[in-house]
Every structure is written in C-alpha cells, then in structure tokens.
Amino acid sequence: MKTTSLLFFLVLSIVAYSQTQIGEGEQPQVALDQSSVIRLVYGSGDQIFYASSTDNAMTFTQPVLVGQVKEMHLGMTRGPQLASSRDFSMVVAIDKKGNIHSFRLTHKTGRWREVGNVNDLAGSAPEGLLSIAADDQNNFYAVWLDLRENRKNNICFSTLSGKGIWSKNQFAYKSPESHVCECCKPSIAVSGNQVSIMFRNWLRGSRDLYLVTSVNKGKSFPQAQKLGIGTWPLNGCPMDGGGLSIDSENNIHTAWQREGSVFYAQPGKPEKKIGEGRGVGLNGDLIHWQSGSGLFFMHINGDQEKIAEGTALNMLEINDKLIFAAWEKDRKILVKTLRNDL
C-alpha cells in the first residue's frame, strides 16, 4: 500500500451554483466536519483521491492521493467510503479479496496514514459493500457484508477510537434464514450513544429494508425491525441499499427503493412514496436518487428537484443557505453548489 501527505494545497476554483469537474474517477463520497470543512473522496482504478474546501465549496484543493488499494472494488455503490469527526477523517475501501483497508487523515497536520484493516478475518468481505460514520468524539463506526460464517453474508460491525485500532468484529445482525441480501450496501448513522444500521434483508423470499439500533455505541444490537408495510418478493438482488440519518432529536429517517419506486420511512410508520428511481441516498434532511440518467433530490417533506445527468450522487447541507452535491458522469467527478431554498 502507498500513502501520501497533504503537503501542498493547490487551489481549484469553483463558481458557486455552476457544475465543475474535480477530477477523473468514480463513486464520490462527501462529508462535512465540525469546522464546516467539506471533504470529498473518490476512486480511480486502484487509487483513492481526496479534495477539500474551507470556503463553502467556492474553491477546492487539487485532489491528492490518499492511498492505493490493489484490485479495489469500485462502482455500483462500491468504492471508498468517507466519514469525518472533530479531529480526523477516515476512508475505508475493500479489495476484491475481501479485505477492508482504512486510511486516517489528521486534520491538524493534513497527513494521511494507513491504520490497518477493519475486518479482523482476512478475505471476509468480498462483496465490497460497506458504510462508515463518525461521532463528535473521534469515534468511527463501520458496517459491511461479511461471510465469515458458513460463507453467507450477514451484517458485521466494528468501531475505531482515537487510539486508531479497529475493535473486534461482531455481527450486528444474522439472518435466521442464513443470509441477508447479498449485494445491497448497508447504511449506518450515529448520534451520541445511538448507532443505527439499515440493510436489505432476505426473509421468506422478500427483499425488504430492516433496521437495527444500538443505544450503547454498538456494544449490542437488539432485534431487527422491518421498515414500511409493503414487501418485495424478488428472486434476485436489486443492488440498492438506500440511506439513513438521525436528526437532532434522535429521530431516525430512512429512504430506499422498492420495485423502482423511491420511499421515505420512519421506523414503525408506513412508507411514503416520493418518486421513481434507484440509487437512493439520505444525508441529514436530503433524500437523493437517480431516475434514468437524471439525478434528483428533495428535503424530507419538500419538493423534488433535478440537479443534473449522471450517476452516484452524494449530497450534504453546508448550512441553511447552501447545498453541496457531487456525482460522476463519464468517469469524471462533478460538483455543484445549490441554494438551500430550492
């Protein structure tokens, strides 16, 4: 593995509200830290690149190399995943042998370093599907599809503290029918001691979304809860995991697709159809998805808007006035800033 340091900050100018290219690559992921720094990573072949903005996305640093993962999974929601805490940012990525590599940026020094594999059993995550989240105390939480038991994928979990060591892996959920949906990305969100994980299950022939929530920072997870009242009998994998967020009052919000329809749901309540499409994500109050080649978003309980053409959309609210979006088109990473009153 090769890593690099952020020693020089070359600036790439961006005009607000216009579409701009950051670099060539796939599967952009974005995060906003507690100092309002926007951080962006993406994959290109076996390499992971990173850029950041300290001025509400008006300008970005020139992309720099985070690290190299030989035969890295990339595409169809697979690729580098990013989360930022108060003092650190973490990137995790899976190679095709099933090893989860992790790299940590120290915000104060601007240096990246590799901090070891997330999965403590080599080759246990060959599907390449994972998510990561961070809290405000420099703790990171990772979830992924893991087949260490009987070569069947279930939902595995690990944490990393400020010491920089990933904890012993544990299963947050194991299906009573031997495995969950094999190729849908799980989602994770954290608020204080609350850690919520959403995943697509496979029970009694249906591919429905389920939720497990820990109230002790992931030390234990109770029984999983089905989301929505509908069901999706399907002999195949939709390859679409959805998105998850927790608001300031610890309410859980989810968004996902079923049979090509996009739904919003809260635990224990009926789902609400909001559109047509796939590639659904949720960051804070923003739901986003793809319909055909069009990329759409909406606030929860708001109206939908089209952003652009492309795929792999990722979004966040910079503040109450601005929204930041990143996506890929023709293997180019594009970004755009929008007013938050659309």
CATH of domain 11-339: 2.120.10.10
Quick one: pLDDT at residue 206?
Answer: 97
Are 262 and 207 spatial neighbours (Cβ–Cβ below 8 Å)?
no
> pLDDT per residue over 158-188, tens digit each?
999 977 899 999 999 999 999 999 999 999 9
Quick one: pLDDT at residue 55?
Answer: 95
Quick one: pLDDT at residue 14?
Answer: 35
pTM above 0.85, yes or no: yes
Residue extents of the structural domains in the chain: 11-339
Calpha distance 312→166 (Å, rounded):
28
Q: Return the percentage of the chain with pLDDT > 90, whole number.
A: 91
> pLDDT per residue over 113-155, tens digit each?
999 999 999 999 999 999 999 999 999 999 999 999 999 999 9
Quick one: pLDDT at residue 163?
Answer: 74
Quick one: pLDDT at residue 164?
Answer: 81
Are 320 and 297 spatial neighbours (Cβ–Cβ below 8 Å)?
no
Calpha distance 53→39 (Å, rounded):
7
- Regions of the chain short of the pLDDT cut 50: 1-16
What one-letter code names the amino acid at 60?
F
Quick one: pLDDT at residue 10?
Answer: 39
Quick one: pLDDT at residue 6?
Answer: 38
Q: Which residues contact 177 (CB under 8 A, 6 or more apart)?
A: 202, 203, 204
